[in-house]
């Protein structure tokens, strides 16, 4: 009996092992692939690993190519539509450390072994920067308003804790790069020896050609206090302290994304943002080149060919040999990466690119020194100059025609920063900072005449405070007090700019609490609405917009430094929008605002109900009017600058579109393109770029380059 029982037990054990092996093989075989795919199952010592990333990278293409997908609830994955070549493939995920890289080629099944992190400290090295940055201490609300050196030491200019939070996030260091990634939560040894970490931070901020800008940013705080807080933060990290919260793995539809990356540019140049199509018509430039803008770093604009996996550069041009260059910007101190070398060198200082319906590339670019030509100035017969003459402009515009390879430069009288076409083909420009006019270019007239002066116009920002519906001569100037019998000029200075379906122009206004501006080209009158802040008439508070987008119904979406997204709908306004009330921006239409908290941790030392406690610092918003991604028309998407992600608001909930490799993904914008409407998800998607000013902060460090990123939303994680 015992012998028979043992034999049966052995047979059952063997059968179970065979069934387990058969089940595993069946699981691998169930992952169907084509000749240009790689697929398989990811397991660890704990079994199948759901919601982890499989990363495939090759240098066999003309420019480095990376594809990233997420496993389903059974640990299965498919890397679709790969080019020919040999790929390094590995697994990354929260709770794991990177698995060893395995080489494979398209058309093969490949099961992968994930590696469980040995401890939380090892796992935390893969957390997005926001989790580390949330450890930074923020001064107590009781220190505001500041009472100066003879009081609590806080500058009297800092009247509210929200101002500090604004400077600690989107409108401080983080408008150029992440804080909390590996490069910023540690101090480079190459900086030297310092008695305190506060001193080390001060020296770090003086580094390279960005030094003057970084010192200006720290000057917005109580400088000594903030240097001390930054020093304490990095000391705690160095001693092994870890974030209190940790990121969740992708779930649900978040697992359906296929992300493709291409290298472009050089290790010494950065990208501000990029463009793939005409934002009014996503079918323009189908399968064409994507272009980037390089701002202060170089006048050689990078491009990527996403079909043939190639990259190159386009040289921009300027008219006047006396046009200044950023190479003359002095280093306050050597860079820990580049020493005393001035790595930035551009005359054109291209900030923003935009396609028109003809597939031409328009750029805000400097083509001459700041002094304006005579037709812009006082005494000119130009209609806009007769109303409001302009003596200088910091940047103008130029257009590149890919069909002819020709660049045409256009002189403008007003500052240019961002640009946007309306439905009539007029190109509108924001100034990007404290500036007093909005400008436009009639592109149809310029195409017909090439007359720079006759094709442009500009207007000051004048509010209809006397309520008669027109812009009257003799308005009260910028520094004057409101007079209910006259109109009132304000400093509009839009940063982001968009055109609404009714033809009006909206712009985001930086500052605290900041707001949104509406300019009517017909009346040339302006309306200004502040973001509600501690306003009892509003449902929720926020502050300090930066980038913006607009829906096809005219709803304006803004990224807020308070770690939120805001929607402003003028149709919801209940009270008057002109007359004396128009000068009270905080109380003009507070009912037009809806504010949404973005995902992610809050600063650990702040009470949960603090306005702006979230450590997120979104740079921009874009609205997918034409459903180029797959969430539906008019989906708002934020750049989650601290979270290695874009975040889409779908049915009232945020969908996190994480880019796990290389870490420190940071976008300043995006657009959606449809290459082939007949092929479903494969024929469309949205493009963004790695847009950090400090490319050396990206995972990989010195030698790393910026990248183009393509997001495609599949119907499920195994679609191919």
pLDDT digits (tens, 9 = 90+) for 407-443: 999 999 999 999 999 999 999 999 987 789 999 999 9
Q: Which residues contact 355 (CB under 8 A, 6 or more apart)?
A: 275, 276, 277, 278, 279, 284, 285, 361, 362
Yes or no: say if 470 and 486 are a contact pair by the CB < 8 Å rule.
no
**pLDDT for 1 beyond 60:** no
**Six token digits for residue 556:** 């304006």
pLDDT of 492: 87
| Cα 652-654-656 angle, rounded to 5 deg | 160
d(CA 487, CA 583) in angstroms, rounded, equals 10
Q: Which of 96, 75, 98 is nearest to 88 (CA)?
A: 98
d(CA 547, CA 557) in angstroms, rounded, equals 9
| Alpha-carbon distances of 268 from 264, 294, 640, rounded to whole Å | 12, 11, 24
pLDDT of 200: 98
- Residue 3: how many other CB atoms lie within 10 Å: 7
Beta-sheet strand order (sheet of 593-597):
545-550, 556-560, 564-568, 593-597
Burial per residue of 687-708, b for 16 or more beta-carbon CB atoms within 10 angstroms, e otherwise: bbbbbbbbbbbbbeeeebbbbb
| Cα 285-289-293 angle, rounded to 5 deg | 110
Q: Per-residue pLDDT averaged across 534-547, rounded?
A: 95
| Cα 113-114-115 angle, rounded to 5 deg | 120
Q: Per-residue pLDDT averaged across 331-357, rounded?
A: 96
Alpha helices per DSSP H over 441-564 = 443-449
C-alpha torsion 455→274→327→410, nearest 10 = -10
Yes or no: say if 46 and 117 are a contact pair by the CB < 8 Å rule.
no
Q: Which of 290, 302, 277, 253 is nearest to 672 (CA)?
A: 277
Specify the pTM. Answer: 0.95
pLDDT of 160: 97
DSSP output for 23-74: HHHHHHHHS---TT-EEEEEEETTEE--S-EEEEEESSSSS-EEEEEE--TT
pLDDT of 19: 37
d(CA 416, CA 145) in angstroms, rounded, equals 35
Confidence band (pLDDT; 50, 70, 90) for 357? Answer: very high
Residue pLDDT, tens place only, 138-147: 999 999 999 9
Q: Which of 576, 388, 387 is nearest to 465 (CA)?
A: 576
d(CA 642, CA 133) in angstroms, rounded, equals 8
Q: Which residues contact 219 (CB under 8 A, 6 or more apart)?
A: none
Local structure of residue 693 (DSSP, 8 states): S
pLDDT of 29: 52
Residue pLDDT, tens place only, 148-161: 999 999 999 999 99
Strands 38-44 vs 112-113: parallel, antiparallel or unpaired = parallel
d(CA 439, CA 416) in angstroms, rounded, equals 8
Q: Residues for the chain: how many in total?
A: 720
pLDDT of 23: 40
Phi, psi of 523 (to 5 degrees): -95, -15
pLDDT of 6: 42
Residue 445 CA, distance from chain mean position: 33
d(CA 655, CA 149) in angstroms, rounded, equals 46
Q: Per-residue pLDDT averaged across 340-356, rounded?
A: 97
Q: Which of 674, 711, 625 is nearest to 277 (CA)?
A: 674
Place of tokens 């090759």: 58
DSSP output for 245-296: S-PPPP-GGGGGEEEEEEE-S-TT---SEEE-SBTTBTTTTTT--EEEE-TT
Compute the mean pLDDT over every residue in the chain, rounded to the nearest whole number: 94
Helix (H) or strand (E) holding 232: helix 223-238
d(CA 597, CA 186) in angstroms, rounded, equals 29
d(CA 650, CA 558) in angstroms, rounded, equals 16
* Cis? peptide before 59, omega within 30° of 0: no
Q: Which domains does the chain have, with CATH numbers?
A: 2-55+71-118 (2.60.40.1120), 265-704 (2.130.10.10)
Q: Per-residue pLDDT averaged across 678-700, rounded?
A: 96
Yes or no: say if 352 and 293 are a contact pair by the CB < 8 Å rule.
yes
pLDDT of 493: 85
Residue pLDDT, tens place only, 389-403: 999 999 999 999 999
Long-range contacts of 645-648 (CB under 8 A, 24+ apart): 645/128, 646/670, 646/686, 646/688, 646/711, 647/598, 647/599, 647/618, 648/624
Q: Per-residue pLDDT averaged across 19-45, rounded?
A: 74
Helix (H) or strand (E) holding 366: none
Residue pLDDT, tens place only, 8-28: 444 434 343 333 333 444 454
Q: Per-residue pLDDT averaged across 270-295, rounded?
A: 98
| Alpha-carbon distances of 506 from 332, 556, 591, 627, 667, rounded to whole Å | 38, 8, 18, 22, 22
Q: Which of 641, 622, 669, 683 is nearest to 128 (CA)?
A: 641
Q: State the angle between helix axes of 197-205 and 211-218 in degrees (0 to 180), rounded to the nearest 10.
A: 130
Q: Per-residue pLDDT averaged across 634-644, rounded?
A: 98
Confidence band (pLDDT; 50, 70, 90) for 670? Answer: very high
Residue pLDDT, tens place only, 595-619: 999 999 999 999 999 999 999 999 9
Q: Per-residue pLDDT averaged across 464-481, rounded?
A: 94
d(CA 250, CA 256) in angstroms, rounded, equals 9
């Amino acid at each position: 009996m015992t012998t028979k029982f043992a034999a049966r037990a052995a047979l059952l054990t063997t059968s179970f092992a065979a069934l387990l092996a058969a089940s595993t093989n069946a699981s691998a075989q169930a992952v169907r692939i084509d000749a240009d795919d790689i697929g398989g199952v990811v397991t660890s010592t704990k079994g199948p690993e759901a919601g982890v990333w499989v990363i495939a990278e090759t240098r066999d293409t003309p420019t480095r190519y990376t594809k990233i997908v997420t496993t389903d609830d059974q640990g299965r994955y498919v890397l679709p539509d790969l080019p020919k070549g040999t790929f390094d493939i590995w697994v990354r995920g929260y709770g794991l450390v990177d698995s060893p890289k395995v080489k494979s080629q398209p058309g093969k099944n490949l099961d992968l072994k994930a590696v469980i992190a040995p401890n939380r400290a090892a796992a935390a090295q893969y957390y997005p920067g926001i989790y580390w940055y949330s450890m930074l201490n923020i001064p107590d609300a009781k220190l505001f308003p500041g009472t100066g050196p003879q009081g609590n030491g806080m500058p009297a200019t800092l009247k509210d804790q929200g101002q500090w939070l604004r400077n600690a996030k989107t409108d401080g260091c983080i408008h150029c790069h992440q804080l909390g990634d590996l490069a910023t939560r540690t101090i480079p040894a190459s900086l030297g020896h310092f008695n305190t970490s506060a001193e080390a931070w001060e020296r770090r901020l003086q580094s390279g050609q960005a030094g003057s800008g970084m010192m200006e940013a720290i000057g917005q705080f109580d400088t000594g206090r903030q240097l001390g807080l930054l020093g304490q933060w990095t000391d705690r990290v160095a001693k092994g302290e870890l974030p209190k919260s940790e990121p969740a793995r992708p779930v649900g539809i978040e697992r359906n994304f296929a992300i493709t990356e291409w290298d472009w540019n050089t290790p010494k140049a950065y990208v501000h943002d990029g463009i793939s199509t005409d934002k009014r018509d996503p079918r323009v430039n189908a399968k064409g080149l994507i272009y980037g803008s390089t701002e202060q770093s170089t006048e050689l604009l990078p491009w990527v060919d996403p079909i043939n996996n190639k990259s190159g550069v386009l040289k921009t041009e300027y008219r006047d040999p006396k046009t200044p260059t950023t190479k003359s910007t002095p280093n306050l101190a050597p860079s820990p990466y580049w020493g005393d070398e001035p790595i930035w060198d551009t005359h054109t200082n291209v900030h923003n690119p935009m396609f028109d319906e003809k597939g031409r590339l328009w750029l805000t670019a400097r083509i001459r020194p700041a002094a304006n030509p005579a037709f812009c100035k006082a005494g000119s017969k130009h209609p806009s100059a007769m109303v409001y003459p302009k003596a200088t402009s910091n940047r103008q515009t130029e257009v590149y025609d890919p069909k002819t390879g020709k660049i045409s430069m256009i002189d403008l009288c007003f500052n240019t920063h961002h640009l946007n076409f309306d439905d009539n083909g007029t190109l509108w420009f924001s100034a990007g900072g404290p500036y007093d006019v909005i400008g436009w270019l009639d592109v149809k007239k310029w195409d017909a005449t090439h007359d720079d002066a006759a094709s442009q116009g500009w207007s000051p920002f004048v509010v209809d405070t006397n309520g008669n519906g027109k812009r009257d001569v003799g308005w009260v100037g910028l520094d004057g007090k409101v007079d209910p019998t006259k109109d009132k000029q304000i400093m509009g200075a839009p940063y982001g700019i968009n055109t609404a379906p009714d033809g009006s122009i909206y712009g985001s206004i930086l500052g605290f609490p900041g707001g949104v501006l509406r300019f009517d080209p017909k009346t040339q009158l302006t309306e200004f609405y502040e973001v509600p802040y501690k306003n009892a008439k509003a449902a929720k508070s926020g502050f300090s917009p930066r980038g913006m987008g607009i829906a096809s119904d005219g709803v304006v979406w803004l990224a807020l430094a308070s770690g939120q997204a805001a929607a402003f709908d003028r149709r919801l306004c209940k009270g008057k929008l002109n007359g004396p009330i128009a000068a009270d921006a905080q109380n003009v239409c507070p009912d037009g605002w809806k504010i949404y908290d973005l995902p992610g941790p809050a600063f650990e030392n702040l009470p949960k109900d603090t306005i702006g406690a979230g450590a997120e610092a979104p740079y921009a918003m874009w609205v997918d009017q034409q459903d180029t991604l797959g969430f539906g028309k008019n989906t708002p998407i934020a750049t989650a600058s601290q979270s290695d992600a874009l975040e889409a608001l779908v049915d009232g909930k945020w969908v996190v579109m994480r880019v796990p490799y290389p870490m420190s993904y940071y976008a300043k914008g995006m657009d959606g393109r449809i290459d082939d409407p007949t092929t479903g998800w494969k024929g469309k998607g949205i493009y963004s770029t790695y847009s950090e000013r400090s490319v050396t902060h990206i995972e990989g460090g010195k030698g790393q380059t910026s990248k183009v990123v393509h997001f495609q939303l599949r119907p499920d994680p195994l679609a191919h």
